[in-house]
Amino acid sequence: MSRRTPSWVFIALLLLISLLQTGILPPPLLRQLRVDLVLLFLVFFAHQDGTMTGMLAGFSSGLLLDFLSFSPLGYHSFLYTSIGYLFGLTRGKVYLDGLAMPLIFALAASLIKLTLSFFLLLIFIPDRIQGLASEEVLIQIGMQIFLSPFIFALLWLLKLSKEQVNQL
């Protein structure tokens, strides 16, 4: 028996995580070192609900991050909409196991975000490109990869997954 979680629940939860990440969470200990929780939640939700929900969730959370941060308007919206679309394509094609796929998804999403950021900054703000090639970015990607199985498991336990588990 399958229980379908409405798409608006995914989008509302992602907006809440965006607010928490930009305003309420304590400032990072090391300059800009902060785990991108929005990215991890977006990857999970896009995989669960497909491209349209992935794009809507990515755009809305990205737009909220654009308004709440000092980034140019549309920067996060473009990044997260693209990532939501790409990971929405995996719906029904890739099975999320407990460990390997969350790690792979987190690495892929982080690298896609880094690549898209590079090209956006190269075109629009070339002065800020050097910030992408730092050890802090590598540590942030490592932290996201480390946290991804825990976040995916938490979302699975909260019954936000649409994949069925066969019980004996």
Query: Domain limits of the chain?
Result: 7-22+31-157
Statement: residue 32 has pLDDT above 80 = no
CA–CA separation, 96 vs 22, rounded Å?
28
Question: For the segment 147-168, what is each residue's pLDDT rounded down to a tens digit?
Answer: 999 999 988 887 665 555 443 3
Instruction: Please check whether residue 162 is in contact with residue 49, taking contact to mean a CB–CB distance below 8 angstroms.
Output: yes
For the domain covering 7-22+31-157, report its CATH number.
Answer: 1.10.1760.20
CA distance 111 to 124: 20
Output the average pLDDT for the chain: 84
